[in-house]
Chains A and B, each alone.
Chain A
Amino acid sequence: MSEDLIIRVRDLRKIYRVGEVEVHALRGVNLDVPRGEFLCVAGPSGSGKSTLFHILGGLLAPTSGTVIVDGHDLSKLTDSQRTALRRRMVGFVFQKFNLLPTLTAYDNIAIARHIAGRNQDNDPWFRQVVELLGIADRLHHKPSKLSGGEQQRVAIARAIINHPAILLADEPTGNLDSQNSAAVLKILRDLNERLGQTILLITHDPVVASYAHRVVHMLDGRIVDAES
């Protein structure tokens, strides 16, 4: 290993079984991601982008192949080990912000910290994150009282509160107007530049892709142009 790779994927395959039918969602994916990269994954619908993210994030077990994230071989983990991995190693940001509707913005962020078993109040990192994302004065509102852009910023705060090795964002701007999209993307780039946060982002949008260091394209369950 010549560089410091935070993700190393070799011949990754995923087959969904739906009754009698087998869906080959990933057909031998190879991917190396150096620590600190801001990588964009593009590709047509159904090409396996979300499936790849779910495996990288420990939400899904691979059918075969090697997946190493920050030194941990995910293909060998049990369900509960993958659950533990999600707590600290990965941050997810989704297209539909996926905040808990009954909790305030503050508690939505705090619960991720609580699930990870780190429950200190007056956490300087917490304040730093909140300020970085510009949501300090929105913390005591529930998601229904926040705009889409604000909700997505809260979701990003929640995703990075546990210092994840990788941040996985699946079409994070898909539900936002161009202005809010730009704000969210700028924040992601800031996180990447200022904190060295490794980010993987799925998008169909070339404008969004332009924020990344590198773009890889997926087609039919493979990465078709993995140049470095």
Chain B
Amino acid sequence: MVNKLVLENLKHRPVRTALSILAIGIEVTMMLTLVGLSRGMLADVARRARGVGADIVVRPPGTSLIGLSSAPMSEKMVDFLRRQPHVTHAVGSMTHPLSGVTTITGIRLDEFDQISGGFKYLEGGPIRNRDEIIVDRYYARQNNLHAGSTIQLLNRTWRVAGVVEEGKLARLVIPLDVLQELTANPGKISQVWVKVDDPANIPKVIASLKEQLKGYPIYSMEELTSLISVNNVPGLKAFITVIILLAIVVGFLVVFLSMYTAVLERTREIGILKALGASPLYVLNILFRETVLLALAGTVLGILFSYGTRWVIMRWAPASLTQMIVPDWWAIAGAIALGGALLGASYPGWRAARQDPIEALAYE
């Protein structure tokens, strides 16, 4: 019976209902997209690091985990690491920030091929000249590049030698010595990727390296990828919290306004219910059920929208942004939206519940 009244009320003002659902949907999408982007981009970093095929990473002292460091470490470190027992490969790479989250990576391609098994070329082939560059599929799609295209980076023109499958090391790759020269960092690298003969020896090698290289962050690949998480990026958690709070405020205000106008508009109807003996709780229950329905519909819409934002990102900005679908957050985002909506409905609901039936029936 109450459900019928609730549904009829929602149907009675379809535009208001649709706008409320839309607003809650956007609120939910904001949360899901933000969390999805944070996780997606970090997962992508981790995936590319794993794609190198190394077992251990050695970074210069004092560098943060996901910092866009340049090249504070000498290339001699590579030779030192190669001489260690059980180490089969050691490859130095240099990461240089371009703009935003985009970086360009320099590496000795022959050594990289040995450790990683080489790039998988979708178009074109390996670099042959010093003005050539390799780009991954996502960067190529976002910037509409193909083998043979030219691109302007670091104040010079590059020719795309090949487009490779994503997920190995970096989106933009050039020879190490070219990048060192261009950035005036001769003989310097940002990290060394190390491979050992047998996975069982990884802990032993790490222990020995830590002994010899005091102050250098040294991670097993497992450790590295597990450390690449929302909690370990400085400020990211706070940023997510702030955006989610904003989303809650928006949802709260929209529901508040929607329910407030609904209560004003229904003054007379609420008066009738109370004249029939409806308790304040009965009236509150009607409004809260309406709110719950709006929040549920909004959550479903928001989840659908998050697939939409992912599609847009994959289509137009796959190199800059990676969004994951985060089903574990569906319920969380829904609960947050519901909480905000119920909060927004509580003042209008309180007004409705304590409305005086005689006054309400006199109301035109």
Chain B, residues 1-14, CB within 8 Å of chain A (1/0): the string is: 11011001101100
* Interface-centre pick from B2, B273, B361 (highest chain A CB count, 10 A): B361
B-chain residues with CB within 8 Å of residue A59 when the two chains form the complex: 275, 357-358
A102 and B277 contact, CB distance less than 8 A: no
Chain B, residues 318-361, CB within 8 Å of chain A (1/0): the string is: 00000000000000000000000000000000000000011001
* Interface-centre pick from A60, A110, A112 (highest chain B CB count, 10 A): A112
A185 to B357, CA, bound (A): 26
A158 to B275, CA, bound (A): 12
Q: List the 6 shortest-distance A-B pairs measured between CB atoms, nearest first.
A: A87-B277, A86-B277, A102-B8, A114-B1, A115-B278, A102-B12
B4 and A103 contact, CB distance less than 8 A: yes
B1 and A101 contact, CB distance less than 8 A: no
A-facing residues in B254-291 (Cβ within 8 Å): 268-269, 272-279, 282
A110 to B8, CA, bound (A): 15
A103 and B277 contact, CB distance less than 8 A: no
Q: With A59-B358, A86-B277, A116-B277 in contact, do A98 and B5 touch (Cβ < 8 Å)?
A: no
Interface set of B (CB-CB < 8 Å, partner A): 1-2, 4-5, 8-9, 11-12, 268-269, 272-279, 282, 357-358, 361
A86 and B8 contact, CB distance less than 8 A: no
Give 21 CB contacts A-B under 8 Å: A54-B358, A83-B277, A83-B278, A84-B279, A86-B275, A86-B277, A87-B276, A92-B275, A98-B272, A98-B275, A100-B272, A101-B269, A102-B5, A102-B11, A102-B12, A103-B8, A111-B273, A114-B2, A115-B273, A116-B277, A158-B276
A32 to B: closest C-beta gap in Å: 25
Size range of the chain A interface in the assembly: 20 to 34
Q: With A59-B357, A59-B358, A94-B361 in contact, do A115 and B276 touch (Cβ < 8 Å)?
A: yes
B108 to A: closest C-beta gap in Å: 74
* Interface-centre pick from B2, B8, B273 (highest chain A CB count, 10 A): B8
Q: With A60-B358, A100-B5, A114-B2 in contact, do A84 and B272 touch (Cβ < 8 Å)?
A: no
- Identify B1's interface contact among A80, A92, A111, CB under 8 A: A111
